[in-house]
Amino acid sequence: MSVMRIEFAKMHGCGNDYVYLDGFRSRLPEDAPALARLISRRRFSIGSDGLVYVLPGERARARMRMWNADGSEAEMCGNAIRCVAKLLYERGHVREETIPIETGNGVLDVSLTVVSGKVTRARVAMGVPTVCSPQEIELPKGKKVRGRVVSIGNPHVVILGESLSDDCVLGLGARIEKHSIFPNRTNVEFVRAVSRSRLEARVWERGSGETLACGTGACAIHAAARTEGLVGDRATIALPGGELACEWPRGEGTIFLEGPCELSFEGAVEVEAGSLEKGR
């Protein structure tokens, strides 16, 4: 049976970790959904929240495609795009310190903080959020949850004021993600306001379960809380994996996300071609 040797970089933003494959250097496997399921399994493989392909772009120098741990493709990830920019810059594929990157949510500009040739942080112009009116989500046993549906190029439900306990996040996250009112499923954020500039949250990500952080989720949290008058133009979103900074000037137009981007390690994995077939 033929074996593919796949070189990768394991990177994370506040613990939201993905396996990154460099399409500037080599041809990448065609069955990305199966590969995502295979390599994302923690304790049985590399382990990650999903898979990201870094590719030459058509409308920009580079583009990213990403798949969740269950193999479903996602439109965008605010933590992943910062890591993509870090990889592009540090490997010399792009030398500018502001990099436009194609995503499933259009071309987004990423501005880098570079220290001694290494990218330590990045700020992303994430686009214009769409914040809907609050709605009640009916769950089994008569429970109702009030949330705001927010789009940051991908879908979110932001639930303000609920508990951040495991019983709440793990018990409700999967149910809301797959609720019938969300035919394409949704990400879910549970949020507690600490002050006018600080929010604490946990995130249940569509296709991956709970993650330590979520960049689009942080933007959705800020947009929902800003709309409700709980915070101002700038807010820190404290997540289990670290802190992300959001800015939404005047509560209109483009929302900005800033946070760290870190390389965990690089390596290579050998994958039997047939294992991708089995992973479908």
Please compute the mean of the pLDDT values over residues 24-28 and round it to a whole number.
Answer: 95
Residue 280 — very low, low, confident or very high, per pLDDT cuts 50/70/90?
very low
Residues 100 and 33 in one domain: yes
Q: How many CA atoms lie within 13 A of 50 on its CB side?
A: 30
**Digit-coded pLDDT (tens) for 115-131:** 999 999 999 999 999 99
Residues 120 and 138 in one domain: no
**Digit-coded pLDDT (tens) for 139-162:** 988 889 999 999 999 999 999 998
Q: Dihedrals φ, ψ of 274, to 5°?
A: -65, -25
C-alpha closest to that of 147 among 183, 105, 175? 175
Please compute the mean of the pLDDT values over residues 94-99 and round it to a whole number.
Answer: 97
Share of the chain above pLDDT 90, in %: 92
SS3 121: strand
Please compute the mean of the pLDDT values over residues 180-199 and round it to a whole number.
Answer: 97
pLDDT at residue number 272: 83
Residues 103 and 189 in one domain: no
Q: Between the CA of residue 132 and those of 105, 129, 139, 157, 179, what are the distances in Å?
A: 18, 10, 20, 10, 17
Mean pLDDT of the chain: 95
Residues 121 and 160 in one domain: no
CA 144, 219, 105: angle at the middle one, nearest 5?
Answer: 105
Residues 55 and 166 in one domain: no
How would you class 172 by CB atoms within 10 Å of its CB: exposed for 0-12, middle for 13-18, buried for 19 or more?
buried
- Answer whether 14's CB lies under 8 Å from 44's CB: no
Q: How many CA atoms lie within 13 A of 4 on its CB side?
A: 16
Residues 34 and 112 in one domain: yes
Say yes or no to pLDDT of 279 above 50: no
- Answer whether 48's CB lies under 8 Å from 37's CB: no
Residue 175 — very low, low, confident or very high, per pLDDT cuts 50/70/90?
very high
Residue 275 — very low, low, confident or very high, per pLDDT cuts 50/70/90?
low
**Digit-coded pLDDT (tens) for 44-85:** 999 999 999 999 999 999 999 999 999 999 999 999 999 999
**Which domain does 27 fall in, by range?**
3-126+262-278
The CATH number of whichever domain residue 202 belongs to comes to 3.10.310.10
Residue 84 to residue 92: CA distance in whole angstroms: 12
Say yes or no to pLDDT of 1 above 70: no
Residues 186 and 229 in one domain: yes
CA 11, 62, 35: angle at the middle one, nearest 5?
Answer: 50
Catalytic positions are 77, 214
End-to-end alpha carbon distance in the chain: 18
Residues 139 and 122 in one domain: no
Residues 235 and 215 in one domain: yes
Task: Report the number of distinct structural domains present in the chain.
Answer: 2
**Digit-coded pLDDT (tens) for 228-240:** 999 999 999 999 9
**Digit-coded pLDDT (tens) for 201-210:** 999 999 999 9
Residues 20 and 86 in one domain: yes
Residues 149 and 42 in one domain: no
SS3 152: coil
User: Please, what sign has the CA dihedral across residues 88, 89, 93, 98?
Assistant: positive
Contacts of 245 (CB under 8 A, 6+ apart): 234, 235, 236, 237, 257, 258, 259
pLDDT at residue number 141: 81
Residue 2 — very low, low, confident or very high, per pLDDT cuts 50/70/90?
confident
Residues 119 and 156 in one domain: no
